[in-house]
Amino acid sequence: MAVKGAPLKLTIHVDGGARGNPGPAAAGVVIMDAEKTVLHEAGIFLGEATNNVAEYRALLAGMQAAERLGATEVEILSDSQLLVRQMQGLYRVKSDNLRSLHDEALLLQGRFARCSFRHISREENKHADKLVNRAINLRRNVEDLAV
């Protein structure tokens, strides 16, 4: 449990996926504290979207949830190299439908004292991926399963 006023660093695993591109899509988010306790998890059904849009929707949902939890510092882990490199400023955002999502993510990023992005393997992102698939299979949101 965080001490009131103390910095709260959270780790956010994000994943997005679409069956077909575009196709039925969902975003997956898993937020953990320093002890690896899951504080929030969600699979968010998006309807029809592309993989990249789903990845950004997962990022936005994760950042918003971390802010609600009182995070001051976040480390965002994703298996999307495109998303991570765009957020790190290493890749340009060429797609018009990603530009507004990227801009929104930059605004959210500014609300944290520290925000970092790290590319991880799909193997390391299984929990978020399962939430994506569950939301697509059920065609509805599956949220706060950890609570």
Q: pLDDT value at position 4?
A: 61
Q: Are 22 and 67 in contact (CB under 8 A)?
A: no
Q: What is the mean pLDDT of residues 103-119?
A: 98
9-138: CATH, from 3.40.50.10440, 3.30.1950.10, 3.30.420.10, 3.30.930.10: 3.30.420.10
Task: Check residue 147 and give its pLDDT.
Answer: 38
Task: Give tens-digit pLDDT for 62-80.
Answer: 999 999 999 999 999 999 9
Distance CA 107, CA 100 (A): 11
DSSP 3-state of 77: strand
pLDDT in tens, 118-146: 999 999 999 999 999 999 999 999 986 54
Angle between helices 51-68 and 96-109 (to 10 degrees): 20
pLDDT in tens, 30-70: 999 999 999 999 999 999 999 999 999 999 999 999 999 99
pLDDT of residue 20: 95
